[in-house]
Every structure is written in C-alpha cells, then in structure tokens.
Structure 1
Amino acid sequence: MSSDVVLRLAPENWPFSLECLPQPAYMVGGAVRDALLGRSREYWDLDFIIPSDAVKVARAIARRYQAGFVLLDSERQIARVVFPNATADFAQQEGESLETDLHRRDFTVNAIAYNPHSQSIIDPLGGCDDIKSGLMRMISPRNLRDDPLRLLRAYRQASQLGFTIETNTQNTIRNLASHISQVAAERVRVEIGYLLASPQGTPWITKAGEDGLLAPLFKNANHHSFTKLAAVDTVANKLAEHWPQLGVKLQNYVRDTVKTTWLGIAKLACLVHQQPTAAELELQELTYSRAEVRAVTTALKLFPQLKFADSVREQYFLFQEAGIVFTATILLALVDDNLVEPMSGTHPFQVYAPLISRYLNPDDLVAHPTQLVSGKNLMIALNIPASPLVGELLKEIAVAQAEGKISTQQEAMEWAKAIIQQ
C-alpha cells in the first residue's frame, strides 16, 4: 500500500482517536475506496466494522467527544456518531469473520477493508484490481437480490467514480430490474437525486432506463424522455454562457431543506408524465416533497406558454404564477424548442431573452412588482369591504404599474376608483 493511501486513511485525520477503537477494528466502504483512488475528502464519511459491542463503542466515542449519537439498527447493531465535519458509522461484523462480512457487500470496490492498527489493506475479492480497471463488479447476484437498491446504486456509483459496469454485472442487473419495485420509494429517490444532480449522471440514468430499472418507478419515461434529459444539460450550459447569473440560479436548491437543484427539477420533469396533474400523482407516489412536486408541475404547466406571452399583462401573470420556478420553466421551454428545431446560433434565445432579462433584473416591475397600495389602504380609501374584489383591484393596479400607466399611490387609488365605476 502506498504512503499516499496511508496518509489519506491516517487516524490523525479522523474526528476521534484511534485508541477509541478495539483491536481488531476495520474501516470499510467509500472512504477506503476513495483513498485508493487518490481522492481526498473535505467531509469525512467513515464506516467501521467492529467484531463485537459496536453500539457500545460508538456510544463511548460520542460521549467522549460530546458528539451526536444515533442508533440506526438495534437488531444488526449499527450506530452513527455525528461530528461537526464528519460522520462515523459503527456496525457489528456480520458472520464469523471479516471476510464473511465483506462477501455480503454489493460491489468489490466497496468490499475492501483497512486495519488502522496494522495499516494494512484486506482485499479478498479483488476490489483493488477493479479500482485500477475502473469497474463496478458485483460480488454475487444474491447480494443484489437481497437489497435491490444496489441495482440502481451501481449506476450512481459508476457515474460518481467515472467507472463502467462489468458485463456480467450489467446482465444480472437487467435480469433483476423488476426487483427495484420492492425498495422503499424514499431510498430510490435518493439514488435518482444523485444521478439528476450532475451532467455525469445523465447518461447513466438513461442507461438505467434502457436496462429496465426505471420502468417500475417512472412509468411514462421513454426514449424521448431521455433525449430531453440530455438536452437539459446542453441547454443549461448554453444558458450559463449567455446569462451566468441564470446558470448560478439553476444550481441553487429548491429550498434549504430540499436538496434538489432547479436543474434537477427540469430533469425530473422530463421523466414524468407531461400532463401536470398526472405528474403530480406520479411524484407523490415516489414521496417527493410538496415543494418538488409543485416545482415540477408548475414548470410543466407554464413552459409551453412562455413563447406566447407577448403583452406586459400576460408576462406579469406568468411571472406571478412561476415565481422562483421560472429558472426550470425557461430551461424546459428552450429544451422543447431545441428538439423541435435544433439550436443554431442564438435563435431560440432571441425568443426568450426579454423574459430572461426581466427575471434577472430585480427592479423590473413586470417580473418583480412592488406594491403601491395595500388591500387595507384600498378598503379604507374606497369604503369597500374585504372581498375578492380587493384582490382583483390589487392585480389591476400592479399590471397598470408594470405597463407604466401609474407610478404613485394617488394614481393607484384613482385607477381603482375608475375600475369600480366601470
């Protein structure tokens, strides 16, 4: 084992001392694999196998370092310790030996152990050779069948590592593809999220679809869906070149608590039914959050309308309905145009440039109206009760302001009076 690997795995880099671990104890999984690949991590995600008393060891470490403690599985004796810049999972060894435990894992590259006490690598399944060859190779068909999420994980990890899937493994995945329907929707959604998050994931989610893994999840996804998916990445890059600010917004999360980007929302919209109501039901079945469902359905509803929003009035109401979903909406509109008429020069952008400019200008009153008067002001000044009429008057005042017909509170009141009189 090279000195570089030893340095990357060195206990001095851990959030706790090596003396906290019993002998023997083994680090396994992604941290070992990434160290062998020469990858460093800002955030440590560590996994340890302990022959006995794994939860007791984890609890003692959490207590010593005043870190968070989570019991993940009482039956299988798995616990997590949460540090400010790291998590460490401690699992009881499965079977009578370390090798038995490693033989129960998903892929050879994830079945390599590191003994920090002796600084040695244990690799009974040839994972190191597969890392050098850039291959995702299954340990056994049974292991994939026992946890069918591993079928999809092969594509996700191939995407993240820049690997390919070994032929026999891919054939096995195709044969077991229908088993993915046995997995809880929440777990599937996490893997899909990783694949949608970057351009590297796009060809792999397409491959997963071709191999039958997406059919039980996205029942309406077809060849055209995957063509659109690839176009999203292409168009997003071109948008970022023309409007860097829009490129940044596409990488923003829908919400701080929802780790899906607006680029991811546009891609997700390609995989579901194109009718918003049907798409809503589909996404709810997959347990997507209310914010994600609303984002996808709003983008699907509005993107066909963008091209025809010519008047200030039409644009005002479109921006009001789209809100922050505009970024995904404009991306879908451009993708749709690009597939109908392949992008040449800046032709498709010319159609949508005025809308994009409005959206990116915080002072534009069409995309970002400011309120001249409040509903309460209107009710007092015009002596009218609270009713839907008040909301309608506020809308008409905002449109008139956007059109440049009024600009002061007094003019807004006069405008409202004229509407009531008519």
Structure 2
Amino acid sequence: MFDSVPSTLVPENWPFSLECLPQPAYMVGGAVRDGILGRTREYWDLDFVIPSDAVQVARAIAQRYKAGFVLLDSERRIARVVFPDATADFAQQEGESLETDLYRRDYTINAIAYNPHSQEIIDPLHGCDDLQLGLLRMISPSNLQDDPLRLLRAYRQAAQLGFIIETNTQNTIRALASQISQVAAERVRVEIGYLLANSQGTPGITQAAEDGLLTAFFKHATPESFRKLAAVDQVASILAQHYAQLDRELQQSVRDTVKTTWLSIAKLACLVHPNPSVAEIELQELTYSRAEIRAVITALRLSPQLKLAHTLREQYFLFQEAGIVLPATIVLALVNDNLVEPISGTNPLRVYAPLISRYLNPDDLVAHPTQLVSGKNLMIALNIPASPVVGKLLTEIAVAQAEGKVSTPEEAIEWARQIISQLIDIF
C-alpha cells in the first residue's frame, strides 16, 4: 500500500525516545491507521502493545520525562503517560502473540500494528486493504459483543474517516443493537459527542438510530428529530455566510472543561423531548454536565419566544435569560421555523436578524447592558435598606437605559426615585 513507513509513525515524532521501548514493542490502533491514511493530528494519541512489563515501561517513561502517569487497568495491565501535547497508552499484550492480540480487536483497520524497531507493518487481518477500500469491517461478531460500545463506535469512526460500514458488519450491528444498553451511559455519551461535533457525524448518528443503537438513550427521538438534526447543520452553514462571528461562537465549547460546542447543544435539543422537564431527566441519565443540561433546557424553553420579543423591554429580558446560550437558541428557533425550507414566503432569518445584530454588537444596551449605578449607590441616594426592591430598581434602570430614557447615573437615580413608591407597594 505504501513504499515507506509514513512519517507520522516514525519515532522522531513521538514525545519520547524509541530507546525507552523494549524489543519487541508495537504501536497499534488509531495512530497507525491515521498514519497510513496520512491524517495529521494536533494532539497525539498513541497506543502501544508490549509483551511484558507494560506498566513498568510506562512508569519509567513518565519518570524520565516528568510526565503524568495513570494506571488505567491494573488487571489488564494498562497505563497511560500524559505529555503536554500527547498521551501514550501502554498495554500488556493479550494472548501468546501479537497476532492473537490483534485478532481480539474491533475492526480490521484498527488491527494493524507497527514495529518501530524494525519499521515493519504487521497486518494479519488485511486492514490496509480495507483502508484502501474505505471500508469498516468487523473482525468477528464475538469481538463486538465483548464490548457493545464497539457497535456505536463503528458509526463514529466511519463518520470521522468518511468510510462505509461493510454490509455484513452493519447487519451484525443491527442484530446486536439491543446489547448497547449494557454500556455505561457516560461511555455512550462520549461517542454521541463525537457524532454531534460536526456535520460529517449527522448521517452517522442518524444511521445509528435507524439501526436501533440510540433507542435506549433518546427514548423520545423520532424521524423528525433527525430531520431537524440535519437542518441544524444547514442552518449553521447559512448563518456562517451572514454572521462570521456567530459561526465562531457556535464552534466554541460550552465550558473549558466541557468539549460540547454550542452547535452540539442545538443538536442535542433536537434529540430530547421538547418538554424541558422531561429533557432534563434524559440528559441527566446520559450523565451530561450541569452546564450542558442547563444550556439545552434554556434553548428549548426560549427558542419559541425569540420571535415574540418585539419591544425593547421584552428583548432585554430575553437576552438576560438566554445569556451565552443565545447562539444555540437562535439555531434551534430557525430550525423549528424551517429556515432551510420556508413554508411561507417569509424568510425566518429576517425575523431573527435584529436580535442577532443586537447580540453581536457589544455596545448594544439591550443585549449587553452596562450598569449606571450600583445597589449601594441607590441605597445611599434613596435612603433605603437592602431588600428585593433594590434589585428590582436596578433592573428597571437597565430597561430604561435600553429604551433610551436614562443615560447617566444622575438620571438613573432620579428614575428610581420616581418608581420606588410603586415597587414598595408591590413588595
């Protein structure tokens, strides 16, 4: 398949020296597959199989390079070394030979090994042929049953590589689909996250659902849910043409510690029940973080309200409630309003354009209010104690500022003075 070993596999590109590895030692898995395909990675994720003392080898490398060390599985003797720009997993060889180990893996394209000492590619299952054909082919049904997450992983890997799942393999996955319910929800969530991360994953997650792999996790998803999922990608593409900044925000993560993007939040909202309370339970069962759940719930709750916010006051409260979830909320609203295939002659994007423009303008006081006075300022100027009234006054001042009724601290205090008697009556 190739005349020389791909440059991405040569030890000079590793985060540690080849001399740290015993002989024999083998690189396996995705790094070998991607190296053969010529796929580059920003972050190295290396896997090695070592006939003996794998954990000791990993610990020695970690100590030499002052890298992190994690014992992943003491029984199977698997350890990880964490470098600034890479991780390297070291696993004890399963079985009496490397070939036995490779025959226990999921798909042929992941059962290719590379011996860095001899620069030899070991491919007993003809994975290189399947790489050339663009096929994801199982090694055996029993291997998939050993870890049913491998059933879902097929769709993720096919999406990432642009491959097709081989017919017999797909039929086997369909037959074994019910076994996916045995897998821990957090492991399933990770695979779903990969499929939601970009438009290439949408056909994959849709096919996975059709093949029965998602029923146990998204109980309320329907064919319409997956039509909307595809529409999210189309809406995002349209928005990118008109609002580059909004597109960049949609690609950002919900939080630094959470890899889910705002666009993924809009997609998740398509897959769960439209009732926020029911959706919250679904997402909790899938072990999503509080930030992710809150974002989906906010998008579900507010997306129908966007086009109803006509006055500046209504828009102010909408922006306050949506906060950083607004980009995902807009995408979901546009999907629900059929931006891709408008039913009426009105382009839904025009309806939301004013809100988008306000959100993208950092100086817009409706979307991004600035505080003219503090609560302490009000308490001193109006001689009032700390109470809910102070918070209400600050809100009314912000609304008045957005409406152009006040613009200075003095005007803000005078405005508060005029309405304080009404608020005291209310509270």
Q: Same fold (TM over 0.5)?
A: yes
Q: Give the letter for the 1:38 counterpart.
A: G
8 Å Cα contact 2:105/2:139 also seen in 1: yes
| Alignment partners' CA distance in 2, 1:393 and 1:242 | 38
Are residues 1:205 and 2:205 paired?
yes
Give the SS at the match of 1:412. Answer: helix
**Aligned match of 1:56:** 56
8 Å Cα contact 1:51/1:92 also seen in 2: yes
| Alignment partners' CA distance in 2, 1:339 and 1:65 | 53
Q: CA RMSD in A?
A: 1.4
**Aligned match of 1:236:** 236
Distance 1:159 1:340, change over 3 A: closer
| Alignment partners' CA distance in 2, 1:345 and 1:108 | 51
**Aligned match of 2:294:** 294
Superimposed CA distance per residue, residues 286-328 of structure 1 (whole angstroms, 9 cap, x where no aligned partner): 1100000000000000000001100000000000000000000
Are residues 1:280 and 2:259 paired?
no
- Write out aligned runs for 1:309-324 (5 A): 309-324=309-324
- Write out aligned runs for 1:10-159 (5 A): 10-159=10-159
Deviation at residue 209 of structure 1 after TM alignment: 0.7
Deviation at residue 275 of structure 1 after TM alignment: 0.7
| Alignment partners' CA distance in 2, 1:339 and 1:18 | 55
- Write out aligned runs for 1:178-217 (5 A): 178-217=178-217
Distance 1:262 1:346, change over 3 A: farther
Are residues 1:397 and 2:361 paired?
no
Count residues with an aligned counterpart: 422
| Alignment partners' CA distance in 1, 2:364 and 2:166 | 54
| Alignment partners' CA distance in 1, 2:10 and 2:340 | 55
Deviates more, 1:35-44 or 1:312-321: 35-44
| Alignment partners' CA distance in 1, 2:214 and 2:313 | 41
| Alignment partners' CA distance in 2, 1:80 and 1:207 | 33
Deviation at residue 340 of structure 1 after TM alignment: 9.4
Superimposed CA distance per residue, residues 56-82 of structure 1 (whole angstroms, 9 cap, x where no aligned partner): 111111111221111111110001111
Distance 1:341 1:124, change over 3 A: closer
Give the SS at the match of 2:277. Answer: helix
- Write out aligned runs for 1:366-385 (5 A): 366-385=366-385
| Alignment partners' CA distance in 1, 2:61 and 2:421 | 75
Give the SS at the match of 2:227. Answer: helix
Q: Give the letter for the 2:350 counterpart.
A: Q
- Write out aligned runs for 1:282-361 (5 A): 282-338=282-338, 342=342, 347-361=347-361
TM-score of the aligned structures, taking structure 2 as reference length: 0.96
* Structure 1 unpaired stretches of 5+: none
Give the SS at the match of 1:100. Answer: helix
8 Å Cα contact 2:158/2:165 also seen in 1: yes
Deviation at residue 8 of structure 1 after TM alignment: 2.5
Distance 1:55 1:348, change over 3 A: same
Give the SS at the match of 1:254. Answer: strand
Distance 1:341 1:98, change over 3 A: closer
| Alignment partners' CA distance in 2, 1:311 and 1:354 | 12
Distance 1:70 1:340, change over 3 A: closer
Give the SS at the match of 2:49. Answer: strand
**Aligned match of 2:165:** 165
8 Å Cα contact 1:58/1:90 also seen in 2: yes
| Alignment partners' CA distance in 1, 2:359 and 2:21 | 55
Deviation at residue 343 of structure 1 after TM alignment: 7.4
| Alignment partners' CA distance in 1, 2:343 and 2:32 | 44
| Alignment partners' CA distance in 2, 1:236 and 1:184 | 31
Deviation at residue 346 of structure 1 after TM alignment: 7.9
* Structure 2 unpaired stretches of 5+: 423-427
Q: Give the letter for the 2:402 counterpart.
A: A
8 Å Cα contact 1:218/1:272 also seen in 2: yes
**Aligned match of 1:252:** 252
| Alignment partners' CA distance in 2, 1:340 and 1:11 | 48
| Alignment partners' CA distance in 1, 2:166 and 2:288 | 32
Superimposed CA distance per residue, residues 162-203 of structure 1 (whole angstroms, 9 cap, x where no aligned partner): 000011111111111111111111111111000000000001
Deviation at residue 233 of structure 1 after TM alignment: 0.4
Deviation at residue 6 of structure 1 after TM alignment: 4.0
| Alignment partners' CA distance in 2, 1:131 and 1:165 | 12
Q: Give the letter for the 1:229 counterpart.
A: L
Deviates more, 1:280-289 or 1:17-26: 17-26
Deviation at residue 97 of structure 1 after TM alignment: 1.0
Give the SS at the match of 1:338. Answer: coil
| Alignment partners' CA distance in 2, 1:125 and 1:345 | 57
| Alignment partners' CA distance in 1, 2:248 and 2:8 | 32
8 Å Cα contact 2:6/2:36 also seen in 1: no
8 Å Cα contact 1:6/1:119 also seen in 2: no
Q: Give the letter for the 1:50 counterpart.
A: I
Q: Give the letter for the 1:279 counterpart.
A: A
| Alignment partners' CA distance in 1, 2:385 and 2:5 | 74
Deviates more, 1:335-344 or 1:215-224: 335-344
8 Å Cα contact 1:23/1:117 also seen in 2: yes
8 Å Cα contact 2:54/2:79 also seen in 1: yes
TM-score of the aligned structures, taking structure 1 as reference length: 0.97
| Alignment partners' CA distance in 2, 1:261 and 1:4 | 39
| Alignment partners' CA distance in 1, 2:341 and 2:108 | 45
8 Å Cα contact 1:151/1:173 also seen in 2: yes
Give the SS at the match of 2:151. Answer: helix
Superimposed CA distance per residue, residues 33-55 of structure 1 (whole angstroms, 9 cap, x where no aligned partner): 11111223332211110000000
| Alignment partners' CA distance in 1, 2:320 and 2:142 | 53
Distance 1:287 1:212, change over 3 A: same
